[in-house]
Amino acid sequence: MRGAVALLVLLSAFGAGAVDMSDRYRSPRNPERAIRRTTELIVLHTTEAPARSSLNKVSDRGECHFCVTEDGSIYRIVDRDRVAFHAGRSMWNGREDVDKFSIGIECVGNHDVAMGVVQLRAISALVKELQSMYRIPDECVVAHSHVAYGAPNKWQKSKHRGRKRCGMLFATATVRRMLGLAKRPTSDADVRARRLIVGDPYLEKVLYGGLDTMARFYPTVVAPKPALAAIRAKPAPSQPRRSAAPAPKAQQRAAAQKPQPAKAPPPKAHPKLLPKTPPKSVADLRARGYAQCGTISVGVTALKVAGSKWNASDTYYTIRDKVIPGDRIDPARIEKGMSVWMRK
């Protein structure tokens, strides 16, 4: 708890002043975008792609208001009071087209990979500034996966939450604490009202359950060690010291023969916050412990082969030397001949 508070103070200090931004990737679509009538949400996205290609894409299409890169740089893409097309098919509390009442922030990275502290500081500072401007409460700072929904298709017979896992890490308690967000959405009003169904149970656990996929990546700061002078200081003896009587030889022999407890292993070093390298080939999948569990064909769907994990991040599809993660595959592009790979 003390470590989380210390980190929160550090992040808060970063966001105390005005946030520096660059207009280098200002979108040419900006002048044609309508002025937004209301601002009720801040939607955090993950680009799922490197910085250069992400910045070029969102700039060309005007797909967000801001983009934050790994080094903490913040780029203005569309004016914050205009509409940016960032949320796609979306719903929040029964209201569709979330673009019309939200600000979208793209963060370079992946939904299931921890971000560096420098980038999180920049996101925190930007979010806090926007919250102050528009009076947006913490629980209305959401991930794209909170608002995105999917239309009925061959995998889901109804409108469903779970079209994307984009920004999923921003729903975890650990990352929200690091961003200085004390509250989070506690349930999905659209699922409760049966406007949508749960299409991705794993995502549902991250968004509203107790599954914190980021907790292991950010170590807590241990309590400071006592000052060296305090360690060296010796309390004044209240009585003269007495030398201990030597132990009998039988006791000494018994102590020597008694097995000594094994030393506890040293604590594991904290894993470096580096992007995961996805498998590139079938040979790479096999080397990582994956096995082919089926092939898509007439009457054999991905759902039949992989069950509820058909769109999980650790399920892969291969075809024509391509390897596609399950959480990034477009259901409409799942075709005959695709092999489905899962861990053994």
**Residue 257, pLDDT above cutoff 80:** no
Note the pLDDT tens digit of each residue in 107-134.
999 999 999 999 999 999 999 999 999 9
Q: Is residue 334 part of a domain?
A: yes
Residues in the chain: 344
Please say if the pLDDT value at position 253 is more than 90: no
322-325 vs 316-319, strand pairing mode: antiparallel
42 and 125: one domain?
Answer: yes
Pairing mode of beta strands 197-198, 160-161? parallel
C-alpha torsion angle, residues 237, 238, 240, 245 (rounded to 10) = -80
Summary mean pLDDT of the chain: 82
Write down the pLDDT at residue 104.
98
Give the CATH number, domain containing residue 13. Answer: 3.40.80.10
3 vs 279 pLDDT, higher one: 279
Number of domains the chain is built from = 2
Q: What is the pLDDT of residue 249?
A: 57
pLDDT category of residue 256 using cuts at 50, 70 and 90: low
Could you identify the residue written with the tokens 């079938």?
282
> pTM (2 decimals)?
0.63
Arithmetic mean of pLDDT, 38-45: 98
pLDDT of residue 268 exceeding 80: no
Distance CA 221, CA 140 (A): 29
Whether 219 shows a pLDDT value over 90: the answer reads no
Domain boundary among 189, 217, 245: 217
72 versus 310: which is more confidently predicted?
72
- Which of these three, 217, 232, 264, is where a domain ends? 217
Question: Which whole-number Å values give the CA distances from 98 to 16, 88, 91, in the listed order?
Answer: 29, 8, 6
Q: In which domain, by residue range, is 319 found?
A: 282-343
What is the per-residue pLDDT for 14?
A: 36
What are the tokens at 36?
């937004």
Q: Are the C-beta atoms of residues 148 and 89 closer than 8 Å to each other?
A: yes
Residue at a domain's end among 162, 197, 217: 217
